[in-house]
Amino acid sequence: MGFLTESVDVACDAAGVPVSVRWRERVYRVAQEPVRWYERRAWWAEDARLPRDRGIGAVDQQMWRVQVRLSARSELLTLELVHTLDTGRWRLLAATSSTGVQVERCA
């Protein structure tokens, strides 16, 4: 069984960097430079067999940590996102307030 996560809509700039996140009917603007890294996903736990025609995007996924806010005066939230490259799907893994209080843990 995989992790339970929450789907989000992410708008990106021309370079593929997130600029806004739509989560629970609210649009959050990215307020700080996002951090990206790659992780190998456990495809063998999710798929019985990886089809031959699926490439590296089926194995690696982008992980993003973004700081967002609803308005210039609202509190910063840190969102941990995963972007599955071969499907284009974005999922929220966790949301933490600027005071360190975990707002949401989806995994």
- Is the model's pLDDT at 78 over the cut of 80? yes
pLDDT confidence of residue 105: 58
pTM value is 0.77
> pLDDT over 70 for what percent of the chain?
72
User: pLDDT band for position 76 (50/70/90)?
Assistant: very high
C-alpha to C-alpha distance for 60 and 25, rounded to whole angstroms: 29
Confidence category of residue 84, pLDDT binned at 50, 70, 90 = confident
Q: Taking the chain, what is the end-to-end CA distance rounded to the nearest angstrom?
A: 12
pLDDT, tens digit, for every residue of 10-30? 999 999 999 999 999 999 999
Cα 89 from Cα 25, distance rounded (Å): 17
